[in-house]
Amino acid sequence: MHAARLRPPPGSRPRSQTLTDFARPSGCAGWLVRDLVCHLVIDAQDVLITLATPAVTKPTVDAVTYWHVEDHPPTGEDPLDALTVRLAAAYGDPHLLRFHLDDIGSAAGRAAELADPRTRVGTRDEVLTVDDYLGAYVLEWTLHHLDLIAHLPGARIRPPEESMARSRAMLEQIAGSAYPTSFTDRDVLLVGTGRIAPTDAQRAELRDAAVRFPLFLV
């Protein structure tokens, strides 16, 4: 990567503020904002790799069945999770991590726009169409957008409404039932994935609706 591309643009946030924000907790338990940003760099790399890994066999999963549901939250003991934390710390200067995400994230976005949605690709020992693969990442990145801003006071950029609605629909498909209509899309995503605890009133509604929660997605 050319060094000039790693210089902060005019008008960017002061270095001290960026350091403070990167050191805040994220919505992913046990991860700081910088750890989550590093995870998103790895996500973008995975998108580039998968879009360049064509498959010829029939799809084995779609955007919903791509997800596996665990009965417990991540413990941090997974080797890749541990590597992510060490790698994030190794960046040192948060501007390098931010610009790395900007570069590789932009490349992944361009590759997604150019890809034929009907093409089959392989990842995680599964086969699915590009359309379904990128659809699964709508849920992944909408959740992580919420995670990034969970403890950032004054964060102005929130996930697009259409991404929130699509992610809610996918989570309801995974759960096998709809969440109460009184829940906002944000409530569904955060409560439904165990990121925040429901209020007593919400818990009663969930119990009445017999909705399965929380869903720990991997």
What distance, in Å, lies between the first and last C-alpha atoms of the chain?
31
Statement: residue 17 has pLDDT above 80 = no
Statement: residue 138 has pLDDT above 90 = yes
Average pLDDT value over all residues in the chain: 91
Q: Residue range 107-128: average pLDDT?
A: 98
Positive or negative, the CA dihedral 150, 156, 160, 161 is positive
Q: Residue range 178-191: average pLDDT?
A: 97
Least confident interval from 37-41, 124-128, 140-144, 210-214: 210-214
Statement: residue 186 has pLDDT above 90 = yes
What is the predicted pLDDT for the residue at 14? 54
What is the predicted pLDDT for the residue at 3? 40
Q: Six-digit token pair at 150?
A: 């969970």
Statement: residue 18 has pLDDT above 70 = yes
Percent helix / strand / coil, the chain, rounded to 5: 55, 5, 40
Higher pLDDT, 26 or 80: 26
Q: What burial class does residue 163 get, using C-beta atoms within 10 Å of its C-beta: 0-12 exposed, 13-18 middle, 19+ buried?
A: middle
